Structure 1
Amino acid sequence: MTSTPPPTLERRPRLLIFDVNETLSDMTHLGDRFVEVGVPPYLAAPWFAGLLRDGFALTVTGHNPSFADVAHASLRTVLHDKANVEAASRHVMAGFLELPLHDDVRDGIRALAGMGLRLVTLSNGSADVAEGLLARGGIRDHFERVLSVEDAPAWKPAASAYAYALRECGVAPEDAMLVAVHPWDVHGAKAAGLLAAWVDRVGAPYPEPMYAADIVATSLTDLASRLESLPAS
């Protein structure tokens, strides 16, 4: 399968569904936590990719695991040679409770909310972590719902995860747009019939085998500008 050129959007979606980890939160700060437990900071990125891989594997075999449980298990593998693996793992995981927003998020969210768009989150992580992130960033009041796959049948990118969000918000797939930095999330949303926006903050090429995003933006403020140019639904 190869990706196809995205269709030309004729109108704004009614609902924007935001991924949380890495899309809204700046997870580079977790590298500091790795340093504090005696591990090189560059291991943070492959650790997070590995925990997603494990979560996806559990999902396709019929399980819906807790993000925290999968993350802890993955950390124990990375930190296995530390004297106190459990304490080190808890220290790294506590970093999720202090992550900041990406620099573009606050202004982008306010601009999108100012257009009258409905905003919700849908995270493979916990709703409590997402709630804390939005509250610390001063943008919680712009989101009508903070949703987690903990209450859905499966992790994203399973179709049932997106269907759960649509049911909770009472919106048809064609009226909803996922917003994410992860191509796998964009692909999953497109496969489930939603629109999707890919936020490419680093200028990386999009994986050709995956369904193309309807919008490619360099930031949430860029996404707001692109959507503002479209007629309202």
Structure 2
Amino acid sequence: MTQSIKALVFDVYGTLFDVHAVKAKADELYPEHGADISQVWRQKQLEYSFLRQLNGQYVPFSQVTRDALRYALLQLKLHVTEENIAALMEAYLELSHYEEVEAVLHEMSGKQLAVFSNGSHDMLDSLIEQSGLGSLFDHIISVDDIKQYKPTPAAYMHALNTLGLKREEVLFMSSNGWDITGAKSFGFRTAWINRSGLPVEELNLDPDSIYDDLNGLLEWK
């Protein structure tokens, strides 16, 4: 079965990069509130992308992320300034990747490698470039190209069209259960990178494989 997989497609936020790495900058700007800011920010970032998709009111993920940050600060009753928002948005372009990522990507270089993200290119390209991982990927795919957020079928179809493969030839990885269910429903093989030890979503769309981190992918080599 592993030989039938021709491409490994990675979600970005939470899968390759730690979205909660922004806690350090948040704590610097709002002492003792970094963890809360990071948690609410991420929660609202996802909610706003889903709501905008459902409402037919697409905006790039960079705007979704900025709006979610502003909401998080207001919810936590913290002082909102454009300077602090700009500084935290800049921190989102400099997220750290998980420690095993680079080695695993090198090991899997015999297959087509791609990232596929809800992130818009103004966020995604900068993040990948600063990480030093850019040369390891054949494609950097953003839903912003078609303005349809995951987990819509149209988003996964865009990735498939970019790869030029059959659905069953793609192994899709994400740390987000909702993203795995979307990809599984579309017809991709899926590997859930379950970094948080969460239960499988109750949607009858179980992942093909579940790993604690990306090292588990080495069995697909």
The question of a shared fold, defined as TM-score above 0.5 by the shorter chain, is answered with yes
Unaligned segments of structure 1, at least 5 residues: 1-8, 229-233
Residue 24 of structure 1, CA deviation: 0.6
Does the aligned pair in 1 maintain the 2:151–2:183 contact within 8 Å?
yes
Is 1:139 aligned to 2:133, yes or no? yes
Of 146, 157, 181, which residue of structure 2 is paired with 1:187? 181
Does the aligned pair in 2 maintain the 1:15–1:175 contact within 8 Å?
yes
Deviations 1:22-52 (A, max 9, x none): 1111222111122122161222123212111
Q: How many angstroms apart in 1 are the aligned matches of 2:213 and 2:80?
A: 39
Superposition misfits of 4+ residues, deviation over 6 angstroms:
none
Structure 2 letter corresponding to 1:132: S
2:5 is paired with a residue whose SS is coil
Residue 82 of structure 1, CA deviation: 4.1
Deviations 1:173-214 (A, max 9, x none): 111121100000000001111111101123322223351111
Q: Which residue of 1 aligns with 2:112?
A: 118
Q: How many angstroms apart in 1 are the aligned matches of 2:68 and 2:133?
A: 31
1:119 is paired with a residue whose SS is strand
Greater percentage in helix: 2
Equivalent runs, 1:1-233 vs 2, <5 Å: 9=1, 11-38=3-30, 40-43=33-36, 44-80=38-74, 81-113=77-109, 116-224=110-218, 226-228=219-221
Deviations 1:61-109 (A, max 9, x none): 2232211111111222222344443222212111112111101101111
Unaligned segments of structure 2, at least 5 residues: none
Does the aligned pair in 1 maintain the 2:73–2:79 contact within 8 Å?
no
Instruction: State the number of aligned residues.
Output: 217
Does the aligned pair in 1 maintain the 2:24–2:34 contact within 8 Å?
yes
Structure 2 letter corresponding to 1:189: A
Structure 1 letter corresponding to 2:84: A
Residue 128 of structure 1, CA deviation: 4.0
